[in-house]
Amino acid sequence: MALLNPRLRELISKIVYYGPGLGGKTTNLKYIFDHTSPTTRGELITLNTEGDRTLYFDVLPLNLGTIKGYKIRFQLYTVPGQVFYSESRKIILRGVDGVVFVADSQAERLDANIESIEDLQENLREYDYSFADLPYVLQLNKRDLPNVVSADEMKKLLILKGEPVVESIAIRGVGVMETLKQAAKLVLIKLKKEMR
């Protein structure tokens, strides 16, 4: 699903941050944007919706090398988390190469996490995307709050296919870059296989 830009010799890959509303998707992307060199990233575009935001920007990491002579550029997106934005989430998933699921670790948000994962899988099915083949990372966010579910319990409830799991405190940047690196690594492995 990645796009080739022969003129610029770039391979453009899309990673979507998915999860329940106010779980930390926007915080992840803002941290990445703020801690990435302006020479390697594009403009941050924010689409505000009622009570939520969708963010988009692209980033060209310098240390990922090339695939068949093409530099790798990642486009990073968030989706609006509220239930009534289902169509928007579906549209943003079109052409996705990898997904980071940002789970809210607060006990009262467990049902929202599960509902959002089910929504993700349903939207992927509508595009005939194979979840089993999709590069996917689970991020357990908000680990610093007092009312969190243990990481082990969250993993039992949310791990779907043995995906990498990163514990995070996105508001402080803890685990944010590690999550992106895990997702980028999985996407690159898949792209290399597809371009053989």
| pLDDT at residue number 60 | 47
| pLDDT at residue number 1 | 67
β-bridge pairing 45-49 and 52-59: antiparallel
β-bridge pairing 98-104 and 136-141: parallel
At the fourth CATH level, the homologous superfamily of domain 3-194 is P-loop containing nucleotide triphosphate hydrolases (3.40.50.300)
The single-letter code of the amino acid at 60 is L
Provide the terminal-to-terminal Cα distance of the chain, rounded to the nearest Å: 15
Instruction: Locate 86 and state its tokens.
Output: 């289902």
| pLDDT at residue number 42 | 80
C-alpha span between 192 and 196 (Å, rounded): 6
| pLDDT at residue number 17 | 95
| pLDDT at residue number 188 | 92
Instruction: Locate 5 and state its tokens.
Output: 């830009």
Domain residue limits, the chain: 3-194
3-state secondary structure of 112: helix
C-alpha span between 46 and 77 (Å, rounded): 10
Per-run averaged pLDDT (10 residues), the chain, 196 residues: 78 92 91 87 72 53 68 86 70 94 98 95 94 97 98 97 98 97 94 84
| pLDDT at residue number 62 | 39
